Structure 1
C-alpha cells in the first residue's frame, strides 16, 4: 500500500528545472532511500514533500490526501515530519527540554497562561521515552551546546519523532559524522520502525509501520538500511527498485555509483 505518491512533480527556478517530471511511490512501512549526485534535486524534492517549497507542476498525495498546496504545519498534523541538513536545535536547553518543547508543540496542551508546564508530567514522560529510543537517556540533562555533532543529529531525529509521524523525511542525517557516529545513526534508523511508540505512556502500542524516506550520500549506510532505492539525476528518477537491482543497474553506475565497469566511487 502506497503512503506517498509523487505525480509528474516539477519545480522550476526560472529556466532551471531542479525537479523535472518526477514520479515516485513510497510504500507504507519501508525505508526508501533517495540517492543521486550533488545538484540532482534531492533536497528540492524533500522541500516540496514537506511543504517548504510549492511545486511548479504535479501532485503530492499522502495517506489518501492531496497535500500539494497544504502548508507545512498541516502536513505535520497528517503525519509527515522531517529533519534538515543543517541542525536546528535550542542550544541553550537540555536534551529533555528540547524534547518536551517538541511534544508540547504537537499537542498544544500547555499553551495555557495559568498552567505551568512543569506540572504536566505527561510531557516529561513522553520526552523521556523518546530520549530512551535515541539512546540519549544518560545525557538527558546535558545542554545541547555541549553535545557532540552525532548526538545533536540524534536529538534532531527525536524532535521529528515527537510529532508521531507516519512518514519521516531524513535529509542527510549522517552529514559531517565520523565512522562511529554514523554507525550509531544507522542503528537508530534501523530500529525506529519497530521501536517507536504511537502514543505516550509506557503501555503504548508499538508502531511497526513507520515509513522513512532517507536522503543520504553514505552508500554503505544506504545499502544496509534501504528496502528500496530511487536514483535522482537532474531532477528526474532514472531508476527505482530493490537495492540489489540498483547496485547492478548500468545506468545508475554510469550516472552516480561508479563507471560502467561497476567500480564504485
Structure 2
C-alpha cells in the first residue's frame, strides 16, 4: 500500500498523463478497500467463531443439566414406586406380612441399581412375574418367557406396571389381580387388571403423582401409551402399550 502510494506521488511529480495518474489512484483505492474488507471479514469470522463456541458450550451445559434433571426425576420416581410405597403399604393393615421382607429387599436392590448404572439387562417377563409373586394378595401372571424390546422400553413398562400394582395394593381393596404380558417384534402390551373398588379418574388429586408421573409419563417418554379403564365398584384395568416404528 505504501509502495503504491509512493508510485502515485512519483507519477504526479513526474507529470504523468491524467489517465495513467487516474489508474494509479484507483489502484490505491482498490487496495485500500480490499484491506478494509479483509480486516472486516477477519473480525466477523473471529466473532462468529466466538459466538459458535459460546453457543456450543451453552448447548453442552443445557444437555448436561437436562441429563442431571432426568436422572433426578428417574431416581425420585424409583424412590416413590419402591421404598416410599412399601412403607405406605405397611399401613394397609393386611394380616399377611410375609411379603414385606422380600419386597423391602427388592426395593433396596432396585434403588442401588438406579444409583450405580442403567438397567440395561432388565428382563421384562421375569421381573413382572417376580412383582406378582411378592404381592400381599392373590396375583396371576400370564405371559411368555421372553419378550424382546429395547431396554428403555422394558424399564418404562416395568416401572409403570410396578406402580399400577402398588396402586392396587394401596387403594383398590382388591382380592385378586391379573397381569398379562403380550409382545412380538417391535411391540409389547402389559395389562394389570384387579377386582377392586375402582375409582373415578377425574377425581384423582393433582398432588397424586402415581398415575400421572409413574405410569402415563413413563410410557410417553419412550413413545408408548397408558390407558386406564375403571369406574367405581367395577375394578380397574391399566393397559401399557408400546409399538416401535
TM-score, normalising length: structure 1: 0.22
TM-score, normalising length: structure 2: 0.24
Larger radius of gyration: 2
Q: Which has the higher helix share?
A: 2
